[in-house]
Amino acid sequence: MTSHDPRPSAGGWRGWREAVREGVRLWFAPARLRAEGETPDYRFSLANERTFLAWLRTALALIGGGFAVDQFLPDQDRPLRTLLAVALLIGGALCALRAVNHWLRCERAMRRGEDLPVSRFPTVLALAVGVLSVLMVLVVAFGWAS
């Protein structure tokens, strides 16, 4: 979630502080979102909602992957297996939180008529999943069996 580029309007420390304050406000008083700006075309909101759900499914897939690692690699060393499973579970939880955060920020940007927020999260997630996959292939192929 911290991988977002909030693009603060004012530069420097004050801009970041304002961006954090806005983020907190968005999370703890999300209903105020509807008081901002103008209601966008409903098709845009529905597209944003579908993207949110796609990210939520990604989060669920990561969590399911965590369970799968723990259940279907029983011959592997326990600490290593648990580490992989916990990494996937944490990744899934972060992905779900990021999904709702990004949905809120996109919705707010659309209501205000601003550009949509850009994010490095997809790149970070892709790299993390790639590294974990290679690690799992190595673990399965070369052992560390208990």
Partner 1 sequence: MAWRRTTLTCAVVGVLAGRQALVGGSRPVAILAVALIALLWLAFLAVAQRRIQAMGVPRPRALSPRAAMAAAWCTVVLGALGAGVLR
Find all residues with CB under 8 Å of 60, minimum gap 6, and list them.
Answer: 92, 96
Nearer to partner 1 among residue 29 and residue 127 (C-beta): 29
Minimal distance, residue 84 CB to partner 1, in Å:
10
Find all residues with CB under 8 Å of 29, minimum gap 6, and list them.
Answer: none
The SS3 call for residue 110 is helix
The burial class, CB within 10 Å (0-12 / 13-18 / 19+), for 91 is buried
The SS3 call for residue 35 is helix
Minimal distance, residue 47 CB to partner 1, in Å:
10
- Are 45 and 107 in contact by the 8 Å Cβ rule? The answer is yes
Nearer to partner 1 among residue 68 and residue 140 (C-beta): 68
**Cα distance from N-terminal residue to C-terminal residue, the chain:** 36
User: What is the DSSP code (8-state) at residue 76?
Assistant: B
Minimal distance, residue 102 CB to partner 1, in Å:
10
- Are 89 and 133 in contact by the 8 Å Cβ rule? The answer is no
Minimal distance, residue 111 CB to partner 1, in Å:
9
Minimal distance, residue 11 CB to partner 1, in Å:
29
Nearer to partner 1 among residue 28 and residue 142 (C-beta): 28
Residues that bind partner 1 (CB under 8 A): 30-31, 33-34, 39-40, 42, 45-46, 48-50, 52-54, 56-57, 59-61, 63-64, 66-68, 70-71, 78, 82, 85-86, 89-90, 92-93, 96-97, 99-100, 103-104, 107
Nearer to partner 1 among residue 14 and residue 78 (C-beta): 78
